[in-house]
A and B are shown apart, each in its own frame.
Chain A
């Protein structure tokens, strides 16, 4: 009973090679059946995402050759492409899967999507009947480890993209975003992306204003919001909670002189301004006003960068947590192997 893993990931191959080896979701079940037909393969799970394609295998043959298996799956494979493949023996395979499920092997360290992808890969394999006692136990353990690592460390803390950082900050200002009024100034791609991030976290009241009114209408319709003529945006400011500004104006659109009189009319609700434009749309002194928080691209990027750094620092702590689970699993695996070997040995002595 030998566990091993082979495949490619963003650590070993560029996107072109990864595309070549990717297995679409629709083909996963068939691929698993083909894997199960290989005589020495006892159990198998295939994990295929945009950043990795990995085969987790339990085999009676400790020297199972990978090359014929790859040729069988992908047709003729160039020698240069084989260089991108990695193969891990038992102990590193266990550690690797635990790290994958915990998000430590991801391109964006700590991202949580991979956990669901591993779970899905396992469920498909279980449904196809290609998992057995060992991989069932290994993957269940991996899910437990993933949850443990995420809940006990800061590995998933914070956001790593400008849009997500802006939404996180907004939530720490307003709490539930469902009741917040958001205005998007400028109907460009950046504004749209950020507005969609807000919508994904529950924001419902969206206004779009742009110099070209048609573009504002188009974006408002696409987002389920309301378009406002550029000359009228200041009138809506009184009840606004969040302003996402990304115009192509060569000068500041939101100035202290414009904002200050409007703020006096507001019923002491904070105002969060996200300035994504270059040159900036918002005069820097606006941030000095009470209850007003202005974040530009640089400040949002700095927070995202700090999050990445924090996550990297957390990796050592995560690895020591994982190591304990690896040892636990190895103990179980050794006992399980002994239980299989012992009856076989008794059988041989009897014959």
Chain B
């Protein structure tokens, strides 16, 4: 990994940290600072990760998801991309205050990892593999944002149930908007993940069954949540809780499954 490549990611991390810090200051001091600053910081962070991914993709001639560093950067990029689309659609501006720390944590983790021996030579591209990895990563971004919307929903729910709304209650989006955003993000993530999973079976290489079973298990977990949602079997509160639990499980098992699989790859 070239120094300049890491530099863009470090710059993006600084932007996300600034956005997060600004939101924390705004909430802690109860001052009504404009959420536009957080939004701008996130936009700048997104721009820098885009530059990194573009440079890297150009250098290796394929989608830059060839090592753990790139996977984390791509996942962050996907999450922020969906935030930028969904944030303006639903006017969930304060979602930036919640997205920025997650983006910071993912990039911090990426930077903290020991350097990988990343390929810098152009290799023959398998379009199915490219589609599989990129769709799966963008799906993870959508699931991450669904998790964030779930956290925000539970904060609102808790404040309403305790009849003790604090200042953050009136600054978060309405609980119904969060519930809709949570559902739509789950659907978006599920659709993308389904495409990613399907293309995974078309790569043409020997199937790693450990990874395949794990991927199908993730698909089943999210499918189950959405099925329960469609059938109105569970309240919105439980859908929000399950989207947090599911994403936490996804993140925590993601590296482990690749470690124990017989063909660790990205």
Contacts and interface: CB of A to CB of B under 8 A. Distances in A.
Nearest to A174: B176
B146 interface: no
Contacts of A293: 160-161
Interface in A120-171: 151-154, 157-158, 168-169, 171
B163 A299 contact: yes
A253 interface: no
Contacts of B163: 295, 299, 302-303
Nearest to B159: A172
Contacts of B238: 290
Given A152-B31, A302-B163, A173 B170 contact: no
Interface string A246-268: 00000000000000000000011
B175 A270 contact: yes
Contact of B165 (A154, A169, A287, A291): A169
A310 B235 CA distance: 34
Majority-rule SS of B interface residues: helix
A269 interface: yes
B235 A173 contact: no
Nearest to B163: A299
B18 to A, nearest CB: 20
Contacts, number: 60
B165 A303 contact: yes
A172 B235 CA distance: 18
Nearest to B90: A175
Nearest to B34: A151
Residue from A268, A291, A302 with most neighbouring chain B CB atoms (10 Å): A268
Contact of B237 (A269, A287, A291): A291
Contacts of B176: 173-175, 269-270
Interface in A23-48: none
B124 interface: no
B30 interface: yes
Interface string B17-45: 00000000000001110000000000000
A154 B32 contact: yes
B51 to A, nearest CB: 35
B52 to A, nearest CB: 37
Contacts of A157: 32, 167, 170
A140 to B, nearest CB: 23
Contacts of B172: 172
Interface in A99-133: none
> What are the nearest 10 A-B pairs in CB distance?
A290-B235, A175-B174, A299-B163, A293-B160, A154-B30, A173-B175, A175-B177, A291-B235, A172-B174, A174-B176
15 contacts: A154-B30, A157-B32, A157-B167, A172-B172, A172-B174, A173-B174, A174-B174, A267-B232, A268-B179, A268-B235, A269-B176, A270-B175, A270-B176, A299-B163, A314-B30
